[in-house]
Structure 1
């Protein structure tokens, strides 16, 4: 056994499959303790094994740990149909997933998790059902359309004409027109929030207390979406400031999830680079920006616990050119921490308790160095070398645990 495996092996635990039961996940559960927010990361957005493993962890958190909010790295407004299906059974899993912004969600392993959550909710009191909340952003039309539909049923709050434009029209390409359009979105959101506060009894009587809370959050989501689109569209191509702003907005929405959570915690399903504490730590000049996980940790302290996933070899899906996903093979050697974890457990998958390992003085020298993890975005440069699909980070400062997988296959589209 290598020196790395011998050292980390004291804190590594085997997983016999990608669907471990609650007993097998006990070492993970011990690290969660009294966490109010658990970040479940993924090294790629297109790996079947990650989705199956995270699905099993999520089921454990729901069934055994009282988690009742699943926060997803997708748009808040477009996730409402998925939440409706999970909570009430209205609609279908496939239809709700098809409504989400990115292709990454429209896969068999995600559908299976959604169906499990729906089954779990059947027959439960409304206040004890799991809900799904999107924490990311897309286009102003999504929150504007949902707000308009709700207001049409509340006579006391007339639908502003500007809300129709926000719901029906695309964000203008012309800079001046775009500024005016997005300014109107922020103004409408502020005005509607005030009216919702004034006419809360009418909204509750016509709809429900939950719908009032949701409408008020949609106003904030509309503001966030306008702020983010203003920043990202002002620069041609990628804007690092907009990338970081998105994470700040996602962290804010996760905080709202905790404030309104009907149960004992929030599980956040997102990429490793978003759930981690600290900075993005990817091979880009601008990667020093604060992640969603860092902002959550600043706001919630030790109540936030983030976990990464990684793999040694295999394939995954991503988009290179156009809009259709393709299959890519992992390049370069496996990362040291993942290879050592899997060697130590002698299994196809394992869990490393990073927090406990980093507290062992015998491993001080190992944790003094930044360590690599694979990091593949939904969009990739097909000509980039292996180093462009990795992150190098302070493991103990970034994550509390790691789920390591030996070999992976691409996620399976619906």
Structure 2
């Protein structure tokens, strides 16, 4: 048991192609600072060159362009290059600033890269497919004269009422079905190339995944929400696999997306289960995938007090250090109950699938930023 974030690597038998570190809540100063310290160590001492965050994979291209070329203004880049309102977080500003500074003067092969592994999805809505279909058509040199007619107004696609009311979704309209065929044909054009451009492949999988997501938004069956969660994580998994193929990648997001085993949550008053991105990637990469969970002691701002001593977090809270890095499988303790919906404690039943735990004694949510909670 140590207190240095870089000691995460000592818990692993070998350097994984994809190192995933999860967090139990979003929007915390201490967690983002810890993430940034670990990322710097991975770059400077372990050969990692890509960081992937639980953020829109398309908007992240703006950040990647900035850190690799310096084009743009830092404030604008962070504001527009993150989804989920995460451009407000100071830790993300510091991350992008450091990456640009690191890359300055380095040749492309030695630069660090930024990526998002989420789809163009918010918890309350999904994006219009217009921008991604246009980008995909352009990348394949294809004219799609009927695309604007089929899409109609973007507001039809982004209507937040469609998240909980399938009758408000246009995802199963005749026009949407034609767009799915168009996206499939455009994706096939990418796949038929012997060495397709990396961004073209990103556009292809995002366009088909987004239209699939809209299709299931229009579903009225009891399994609708589980389908949506599963589709979203399958899109995340596709992005993570592609990034791991590029080279050693550090992924950072919610524990529920990156953990091994089935994920669960309550939404719309119902318990939901689905296979998260971590499970899907782990099944393919095997020892090339490692998952380290983050646990916390208190979140006083949201009424989360010191953990009971008989819980996993309570065992770790008994140590005086502000942060700890430890193995997971032999940690004692019961499961903690969270008084706040935005925080998910460790589940002792899942520790066998966790390669390590980073424990942060006290967290301090960012003042003025809206709390993005749960597996956003």
**TM norm structure 2:** 0.80
2:230/2:276 contact within 8 Å kept: yes
- Per-residue CA deviation, residues 254-279 of structure 1 (Å, 9 max, x unaligned), is 111112x1x4x111111011111112
Give the drift of 1:249.
1.9
Give the drift of 1:160.
4.0
Separation of aligned partners in 1, 2:149 and 2:306: 51
Largest Rg, 1 or 2: 1
Counterpart check, 1:36 vs 2:11: no
1:371/1:395 contact within 8 Å kept: no
Separation of aligned partners in 2, 1:225 and 1:30: 38
| Aligned residue in 1 for 2:33 | 52
Separation of aligned partners in 2, 1:401 and 1:271: 15
| Aligned residue in 2 for 1:341 | 316
| Aligned residue in 2 for 1:127 | 109
2:52/2:115 contact within 8 Å kept: yes
Question: Structure 1 residues 141, 310: closer, same or farther in 2, change over 3 A?
Answer: closer
Number of positions where the alignment pairs a residue of Structure 1 with one of Structure 2: 350
Give the drift of 1:228.
1.4
- Per-residue CA deviation, residues 110-152 of structure 1 (Å, 9 max, x unaligned), is 1101111111111222123222222212367566425535755
The runs of 5 or more residues in structure 2 that have no matched partner are 370-376
Matches within 5 A, 1:370-381: 371-372=335-336, 380=342
2:308/2:336 contact within 8 Å kept: no
2:150/2:176 contact within 8 Å kept: no
Give the drift of 1:103.
1.7
Give the drift of 1:53.
0.6
Separation of aligned partners in 2, 1:152 and 1:161: 15
Counterpart check, 1:267 vs 2:250: yes
| CA RMSD, 1 decimal | 3.3
| Aligned residue in 2 for 1:191 | 185
Separation of aligned partners in 1, 2:64 and 2:129: 15
Matches within 5 A, 1:13-24: 13-15=2-4
The runs of 5 or more residues in structure 1 that have no matched partner are 1-11, 202-208, 316-326, 381-387
Separation of aligned partners in 1, 2:303 and 2:152: 41
Question: Structure 1 residues 229, 150: closer, same or farther in 2, change over 3 A?
Answer: closer
- Per-residue CA deviation, residues 309-340 of structure 1 (Å, 9 max, x unaligned), is 1211124xxxxxxxxxxx62325735732332
Give the drift of 1:217.
2.1
Q: Which residue, 351, 355, 362 being the options, matches 1:407?
A: 362
Report the more deviating stretch, 70-79 or 133-142.
Answer: 133-142
